[in-house]
Amino acid sequence: MSEAEIWKKVEHFFEVNFQTEKNPPIDTLLFIIGVQELGSGQQKFTKDDKLNLLHIAVCRLLEPFGYYKFTHYEDGWPHYDKLDDLPELKPNEQSLLMKKAIIQYFQDEEIDLE
């Protein structure tokens, strides 16, 4: 199965399980992954919390690529150390990297896309 086909299944998973719009923006997916990684379930988040959730998701997603390493929990929030700088990426390259990382996340977490 091609990466594009897998990505369509990932998008469909979010549409069905989280009632996201069709072809949800990456930020929406990052937010949901951040909430999942926080593990606190659905709740009200402040604007700062929402930014932190996006950061958690990016760190978790880029961890298998060697950019971040989980270190510990503090006040219930996961913390990561930056191991390497991301290369300079154009916006479309950033999007492709995040899509690959989200696909990897689904594989690592053994989330069924069928």
Task: Count how many domains the chain has.
Answer: 1
Q: How far apart are CA 30 and CA 36, in angstroms?
A: 10
Average pLDDT over residues 54-72: 97
Task: Quickly count: other Cβ atoms within 10 Å of residue 17's Cβ.
Answer: 10
Q: Is the pLDDT of residue 64 over 80?
A: yes
Residues of the chain with pLDDT > 70, as a percent, come to 100
Residue 114, in any domain of the structure: no
Residue 88, in any domain of the structure: yes
Residue 93, in any domain of the structure: yes
Q: Is the pLDDT of residue 42 over 80?
A: no
State the chain's mean pLDDT as an integer. Answer: 94
Confidence band (pLDDT; 50, 70, 90) for 82? very high
Q: Is the pLDDT of residue 41 over 90?
A: no
Residue 69, in any domain of the structure: yes
Contact 107, 61 (CB under 8 A): no
Residue 113, in any domain of the structure: no
Question: DSSP string spanning 27-94?
Answer: HHHHHHHHHHHHT--S----HHHHHHHHHHHHHHHHGGGTSEEEEEEETTEEEEEE-SPPPP--HHHH
Full domain range(s) for residue 22: 3-108
Residue 62, in any domain of the structure: yes
pLDDT at 62: 97
